[in-house]
Amino acid sequence: MKNDILINLKEVHNRIENACRLSGRNPDEVSLLLATKTVSAEKICIAIEAGETLIGENKMQELRDKDSDLKDLGVERHFIGHLQTNKIKDVLKYVTCIQSLDRLSLAEELDRQLQNQGRTLDVFVQVNTSYEESKFGLPPEEVLAFIKKIKEYKTLNIKGLMTIGLLDVDKEKMQPSLRLLKTIRDEIYNAKIEGLETLKLSMGMSQDLELAIAEGSNMVRIGTSIFGNRFLGKEIWNENIAE
């Protein structure tokens, strides 16, 4: 098991470097987030020992269950799943960033609780770039107005945009949603909003890592290619569903 994870990790880093080389980008511009839903703390620790520093979880329950094993390892934890308002309090105990900010009510409640705690939080705005009904995220047309609104919440540091692109065996079908995220960022840049001069793009998963990097990704979120398939009776890659 240990060897598999180490070999897979190396392979993923190679894929990132190759994709950067092909698109003339510096690999330092692209960070790797380990998407660790359903992955045991033991397996996550193997990757951390190998030098990984960033993990993303989709569920509060898993953050809590793995916390005692991970909390002292200096690893940065992000929340990347759909977040219900009643789970905010617990999630905030474990993470420094929420990548799935997708509605005003969530921003409001986050701000309220963060103010109470006297702290700030990094956030990514999640965009539904594939317009699939099964996916969370703001419709692309609403992102600029949304960003302008949540900029008023001083407890939220807007770090960038996140998307789960359309996944398909066909490259041609996957590319548009990834490209759209960058277009939305350009739109925000063009609006010249103070404090939003640099925004990261969190996009690219096991299946579309190379394409995402070619389209400008700054953070790829990889699970399957490192830890293997997640089976819970069936493969559930998109358990980006409500808890």
Residues that bind ligand PLP (CB under 6 A): 35, 37, 58, 80, 164, 205-207, 221-225, 237, 240
Closest contact distance (angstroms) between CB of 127 and ligand PLP is 12
Which is nearer to ligand PLP, 58 or 218 (by Cβ)?
58
169, two tokens: 């065996």
Shortest distance in whole angstroms from residue 229 CB to ligand PLP: 8
45 vs 220 by CB, closer to ligand PLP: 220
Cα separation, 23 vs 213, in Å, equals 8
Minimum distance from residue 190 beta carbon to ligand PLP (Å)? 27
Question: Measured from the CB atom, is 33 or 155 closer to ligand PLP?
Answer: 33
Q: How far is the CB of 35 from ligand PLP (least distance, A)?
A: 3
Calculated CA dihedral for residues 155, 134, 216, 151, nearest 10 degrees: -20
Q: How many CB atoms lie within 10 A of CB 13?
A: 15
- How far apart (Å, rounded) are the C-alpha atoms in residues 189 and 235? 38
Q: In this complex, which beta carbon is closest to ligand PLP, that of residue 37 or of residue 66?
A: 37
- Angle subtended by helix axes 143-150 and 104-117, to nearest 10: 20
- Least CB distance from residue 198 to ligand PLP, whole Å? 22
Structure tokens at 154: 């001083």
Q: Please report, as a single letter, which amino acid is at residue 5.
A: I
DSSP state of 138: B
As measured in angstroms, the least distance from the Cβ of 62 to ligand PLP is 11
Q: Mind giving me the DSSP string for 20-37?
A: HHHTT--GGG-EEEEE-T
Residue number, nearest CB to ligand PLP = 223
CB-nearer residue toward ligand PLP: 155 or 184: 184
- How many CB atoms are located within 10 Å of the residue 48 CB? 19
- Residue 234: count of CB within 10 angstroms of its CB: 6
Q: Which is nearer to ligand PLP, 35 or 178 (CB)?
A: 35
Contact by Cβ (8 Å): 191, 144: yes
